[in-house]
Amino acid sequence: MCIRLIVQRQFSANSTKHVHMRPFSGPKVKWATPGIFHCAYWLPSAFVASYYFVKLQIVSGRSMQPTLNPESSLWRDVGLFDRFAIHSKMDFRRDDIVTLHSPEDRGRVLVKRIIALAGDQVKTLPPYPDPEVVVPQGHAWVEGDEPFHSDDSNRFGPVPLALIESRLIAVVWPPPRFGYLFRGDNDGISKPKRNSVRYRTAMAELDRQRWRNNRVTPDQDCGK
């Protein structure tokens, strides 16, 4: 009888211990860190900026050599492109380097230079069938700086302005090529020093610019 009573008390004590044990809560869950919330907060702003204002674009191919992706560089150029000037201001200028959707494949983005605008008369290059063409209203004539290694207006003709997305502001990569592109009509941008590599490159570009301009008779009624 005493033994039975002792066993019952021991069992009762063990049961009490089990009842008061802390329940199993499982692994602790780590919630998102503040950095993720900050990224999520600024993500819409970054999207709006890249869609309406500026964007970064990798330049592929050799059609814009030597201005972009020169053979002396081991890296492909990354350019900073202005979308606001095109989409909102509709500011199209001769000699601007722009991105545009290919009229032959809308999913393909090209990087070309605006050679002529509406009303301008252009002396074309092969394989374009006509020796000269007048750019129609609402269109532009675009070419690569390496015209014989470029799919451009000499192949598919004038392109609608609606296909143009943005224009190049500066090269941001690789580091040795960081900066604005030299243009003969740039104001406020320092010219390269004489006898420097940049100077010789700029003078070569100036010769190419003159060659392009000699092929275009601007529309006299156009204020651009």
pLDDT tens digits along 147-198: 888 999 999 999 999 999 999 999 999 998 888 765 544 443 445 566 666 6
What CATH number corresponds to the domain at position 55?
Answer: 2.10.109.10
List pLDDT tens digits, range 49-91.
555 578 998 999 999 998 899 888 889 999 999 999 898 888 9
Provide the domain count of the chain: 1
Amino acid at residue number 91 = D
List residues with catalytic annotation.
63, 112
Question: Does a structural domain hold residue 7?
Answer: no
176-187 burial, b at 16+ Cβ within 10 Å, e below that, comes to ebeeebbeeeee
Band (21; pLDDT cuts 50, 70, 90): very low
Residue 165 structural domain:
41-217
Asked whether residue 21 is assigned to any structural domain, the reply reads no
- Let me know if residue 11 belongs to a domain: no
